Structures are given as structure tokens and as C-alpha cells.
Amino acid sequence: MKRYKKIISDLGLSISLDKEFSRIKMAILHHAGRDYIASRGEYLNAMILADFLGFDFIDAEKGIFFNDDGTFNAEETNDVLSKILEKHEYAVIPGFYGSMPNGTIKTFDVKYDGATNSIDMLSFYDYTSVGGELTPGDDVTRTAFSSSAFLTLDGVPIKATCYNIDGNNYFKLRDITDALDCRVEWDDNNQLIWVVPSVPAYDDPNEAVG
């Protein structure tokens, strides 16, 4: 709680998360699943980001859906989320989790498999933070080299070029959103990248972003 309160204070925001902290505590005491607990970081961070930007907050639980077998339910997600977004000019939706048919929370993870030299996006696993994910850049120019590593979604290889920079693997966000069939946009006015799950990916990969 102290970490979130410090972020709010440092940003000069007036939002209070006390009710959310109490709600999360009660859920844990009543044996909430580990996916619910793992998703609360994304949930709280998105609330703070929405307040900072002056945007509406939409809980991913209300608009991102999965089937009983763990596969992404694109039809229900697109239908429900598009109706929700019609009521909001701008909104922040947390990532890494959604809702199962029984109403429970499910998360997903990204892992590296050294044996196959692959980066695997896995549905319905707790996201494992390695630290530094949101660290600002240092304005130092670095060289990207082509890498033989490849990307998979639930074990199925997807078309995406891998780049190695300082020993770390990187992929274009457009390639990832194409695999997930959602839209990525560049907001030049606010210098932000938007991932829009309710809108399908561009049919033409060379179509301009933004």
C-alpha cells in the first residue's frame, strides 16, 4: 500500500485507493484465487494511470473474456467491450487478465524457453515481473541485431521478427497485436501507444498507425 500511496503523492494526484485496498484484503481473507491476487497490481496501476491522464477506468474483468478451456473469447470480448467503449471517449484498461465464464479472474504470462530459443506468450498464467519493465529510456542509441529467437502464443509459433539489443530480445508491438488480432495506435498529441482490444488488427500490415 505504501508504494501505491507514494506514487500517488509523487504524481500530485488526489485519488484514494483505500477502498480498493480494503476490498482486496477481504477477497484474500475469503480465499480469492492466486490469479485474482496477481492481477491486482495491474488493476491498481491502471486506476492511478487513468486518474493521472484524466481518462475513465475500465476494469478488464468487465470486458475481456475467456472460454472454459482457457482460450480467448474474441466474439464476446469484442461485443461487450465495444459497447462499453462507446460510452467513453478515452479510457485505461488494465492488461494481463480477464474474466472466465464463472466470473473468476485469469492472467497470462510471458516466458523464455532456452531449450528452443523461443519467447512464449502463455494465456492464463500469472505474469512474472522481472523488474524494470516500465523504466524510462536513457536516450542512448543502441544497435539492434537480428535474432534467431522466435515468438509463440500458447505454443503456436507466430510471425514476428526478433531483435536482440544488449542481450535482450525485442519484438515489434504491431507483430504481437496482429497475433492477438487487436489494434495498436500511436497518439502523437499525448506521446502514448494505445492497444485497443475491441478493434481488430489492420488487414494491411503497412497501413499507417495513428
Whose cell is 480469492? That residue is 32
| Cell numbers linked to 186 | 500511436
Average pLDDT, the chain: 81
User: Tens of pLDDT along 116-161?
Assistant: 778 877 665 556 666 666 677 778 888 888 888 888 877 778 888 8
Between the alpha carbon of residue 131 and those of residues 5, 135, 153, 175, the distances in Å are: 20, 9, 22, 23
User: Tens of pLDDT along 59-114?
Assistant: 988 988 888 877 778 889 889 988 998 999 889 988 778 888 888 887 766 666 67
Closest CA to 118 of 79, 169, 50: 169
Question: Exposure of 68 by Cβ count < 10 A (0-12 exposed, 13-18 middle, 19+ buried)?
Answer: exposed
The H or E element that residue 145 is part of is: strand 145-146
Letter string b/e over residues 116-129, b meaning 16 or more CB atoms within 10 A of that residue's CB: eebbbbbebbbbee
Give the E-state strand segments of 27-81 in sequence order. 56-57
Strand partners, 153: 121, 156
Question: Rounded to an integer, what distance in angstroms lies between the CA atom of residue 81 and that of residue 79?
Answer: 6
Question: Rounded to an integer, what distance in angstroms lies between the CA atom of residue 12 and that of residue 5?
Answer: 11
The H or E element that residue 169 is part of is: strand 168-171
